[in-house]
Structure 1
Amino acid sequence: MARFDRYMLSQLLALFGFFSLVLVAIYWINTAVGLFEDLISDGQSALVFLEFSLLSLPNVIRLVLPISAFVATVYVVNRLMAESELVVMQATGFSAFRLARPAALFGVTVAVMMLILMNLLVPMSRTILADRTAEVRDSLASQFVKDGEFLHPVDGVTLFIREISPNGEMRGMFLQDDRGADQVIYTAERAFLVRTETGPKLVMVDGLAQTLEAGRLAVTRFGDFTYDLGAMLEPATRAARRMNELSTRELLWPTEATMTETRSDRAEMVFEGHDRLGQPFLGLAASLIGFAALLLGAFSRFGLWRQITGAVLLLIVLQLINTLAGAQGPKLAFGWMLAYAAPLTGCVMAVLMLWWAQRPRRQGRARA
């Protein structure tokens, strides 16, 4: 690799890492806020929250990599043009296509990273996340224990817990059971949830049992009382797999079983599989567009703001094409071809701009 290629590629990778870190942090914080509210409010620990947050990271990284590649390319090329380094390289006889070689290598590197993410890490993390979600929903704390709220686990049962201590002790408990012929109200100073061989039990300590029988109220004091929760807590089941949990091979060659499981038809699954292969090359297209658009401008003390604006607009057009393809592709028999529409369009745009940048008339204006 030529010295210029190594120099420019190192600049691109360094800034790509910086911008990726910043964007991933922003996206991750936005996702983590929702997870924090859902998990912590359900009584889960901070470790469960951290685990779920880490499992969501591969998909977040996959979303930000093309944007980071584009921003890094624009930043580096703009700085090299402002410091006349690219102008000097053009003066030595480097064509626009030759100058674009490090940007193309950088784009291929980003595409390989996205291929690994979209075809291995993201489906794996989605599968683990779905499994852990089922386990969390099956826990007693997530289904039953919430303080400061009137809960209705099943019809005819009302539960209120004043406070839950850090060690899981429930204080100030109220339980009303109207399912039988007689209405029963339990109140207790303290209560605990325990698992037994016959199912979960609620152990109440220092309380009262008030039973309304034929219009007469009977009150029973107890030191401890065990209430069966087996009929109230239904075990959570693992939801059927979705397309984003399947491997790429299962999507490209779907079977009747996988189509039934995901409730999708063949066209949808095949498009999703090809989308995993085509989307990574948006990183390549974004980096080439950022480089080629700025190469159209000559050295200027006022910067290349017009070219940067044009590159951003082209990236928006590329995203619109990608969105339309994603909406229409799953509906068509051969719609999987549309999965490659946005990456190919972006690469063609970049090639046309590079050809335009190296025309003799453009080079003459740059030297003038």
Structure 2
Amino acid sequence: MTRFDRYMLSQFMVLFGFFALVLVSIFWINKAVRMFDRLIGDGQPAWIFLEFTALTLPGVIGVVLPIATFAGAVYVTNRMTTESELTVMQATGYSPWRLIRPVLIYGCLIALMMSVLSHYLIPKSLSQLRLRQAEVSQNITAKLLTEGEFLHPAPGITFYIRDITPEGELRDVFLSDRRNDKTPVTYTSTQAYLVQEGGGTKLVMVDGLAQNLRTEGNRLFTTHFDDFSYDISSLISRDPTNLNRVDFALTGDLLFRPAEMAEITGSTVPEVLYEAHGRFAQALMCVVAALIGFATLLVGTYSRFGVWWQIVGAFTLLVLIKMVEGGVSGAVLASASAWPLIYLPTGIGALLTIILLYLAAYPGIWRRLWPFGPRKGPSGPVEGAA
């Protein structure tokens, strides 16, 4: 790489880092706020929230990498065009085909990052997140040990604790069980304890009252008790955690054992192949985003109004490529032999880049195709000179 190549690459990486940081922060905060309300509302400690948000981070980064790649390429190219840096380099003999070399290296570096994420970090983080969510959802103690709030750990259940002593004693406990509409039961006690027994959790209430309402006949039965044990394990469903999902599997297993992985994960062979090749396509899309963002801004002649229409055109081309990507997904999911269509958007992006570079290398063709652009006068480029 020449000094100019290293200069361009450094500019791309710096702006990419800036846009990636901003976008990851926006997406991550949006997820973190919703997760915070749910976890803290269930009585989970703050470190559980931090662990869950950290496990969602690889997926968030994977979403924003192509966007940040495109934004970095467009911003740097626009700045270098405005400051005439690209014009100077073209005047020294650098053709558009030569100028795009550092952009290609830039896209490949981001594609390498995306490959690490999509092939390893995202599947691992998703499976670990699913496992931890199942463990937390079965943590009855954390759901119930909240002072001064009416909690609803399960449909039809209301639980309240006035105070919790440092020794773990629950004071002034209220428990309403309305899961059976015909016979709702309400328990109150001055003291209570949570006890682990036989693989389950029981609420042992001391010096309390049980009120059983019979809706048929509208009669209320009350029972005073010195101590009473209530099994609360059934309040939380304990369905087995399924970690055999296609998006949790490693890419090598999906590629070389599609039929076996389809049986293990309960998916179809086209779904397995779509997931496997889609991970490669995500990395290649980062390269396409960088090339499209740079090549589009090279097209056209000088204009004192800037390159705003090239920026809009680059964004439009990228949207069209994403639409093609969405369109071929149905065909790939319908037939296992159609998996090469996953790479069609990448091929279209490469073809568009070649066309754009050709138009940039031969601007006369572009002026004939786009008659509304600026024309060159005898003393240089002017806007609609008479």
TM over 0.5: yes
Deviations 1:101-132 (A, max 9, x none): 11111011111111111001111111111111
TM-score, with structure 2 as normaliser: 0.84
- Unpaired runs of 5+ residues, structure 2, are 368-374, 382-386
Highest RCO, 1 vs 2 (Cα 8 Å, sep ≥ 6): 1
After superposition, what is the alpha-carbon deviation per residue over 1:118-159, rounded to whole angstroms, capped at 9, x for unaligned? 001111111111111121122114666684256656xxx854
Equivalence map 1:49-198=2 (5 Å) = 49-141=49-141, 147-149=149-151, 158-161=157-160, 163=162, 169=170, 171-176=172-177, 185-197=186-198
Distance 2:356 2:35 in 1: 44
| Cα distance change of structure 1 residues 216 and 268 upon mapping to structure 2, 3 Å threshold | closer
Is 1:12 paired with 2:12? yes
The SS at the match of 1:279 is helix
Equivalent position of 2:332 in the other structure? 329
Aligned equivalents of 2:165, 2:77: Cα separation in 1: 55
Deviations 1:21-52 (A, max 9, x none): 00001111111122122222222111111111
Shift of 1:225: 3.7
- Distance in 1 (CA, whole Å) between partners of 2:56 and 2:289 is 24
Which amino acid in structure 1 is aligned with residue 324 of structure 2? I
Equivalenced residues, count: 363
Output the CA distance in 1 between the equivalents of 2:132 and 2:260. 24
1:91 is displaced (CA, Å) by 0.4
| Letter of the structure 2 residue corresponding to residue 127 of structure 1 | S
Q: 1:353 aligns with which of 356, 362, 373?
A: 356
The answer to whether the 8 A contact 1:82-1:303 is kept is yes
Does the CA contact (< 8 Å) of 2:299 and 2:356 recur in 1? yes
Structure 2 counterpart of 1:244: 247
Q: In 1, Cα distance between the equivalents of 2:119 and 2:296?
A: 31
C-alpha distance in structure 2 between counterparts of 1:325 and 1:301, whole Å: 41
| Equivalent residue letter for 1:191 | A
**Alignment partners' CA distance in 2, 1:245 and 1:202:** 37
Counterpart in the other structure of 2:209: 208
Tell me the percent identity: 40
Distance, in Å, in 2 between the alignment partners of 1:261 and 1:144 is 36
Mapped to 2, the partners of 1:218 and 1:18 lie a distance apart of 66
Which AA in structure 1 matches 2:254? L
| Corresponding residue number in structure 2 for 1:25 | 25
2:292 aligned partner: 289
Question: What is the rounded CA distance, in whole Å, between the counterparts of 2:102 and 2:286 in structure 1?
Answer: 14
Does the Cα contact within 8 Å between 1:173 and 1:190 map onto a contact in 2? Answer: no
Letter in 1 for 2:12: L
Contact 1:254/1:270 (8 A) holds in 2: no
User: Structure 1, unaligned stretches of length 5 or more?
Assistant: none
Mapped partners of 1:164, 1:211: distance in 2: 25
> Could you tell me how far apart the structure 2 residues matched to 1:176 and 1:333 are?
51
Residue 262 (structure 2) aligns with: 259
Determine the C-alpha separation between the residues in 2 that align with 1:256 and 1:175: 50
Q: Quote the offset at 1:210 in angstroms.
A: 4.9
CA 1:194–1:62 in 2, change beyond 3 Å: closer, same or farther? same
TM score, norm. by length of structure 1: 0.88
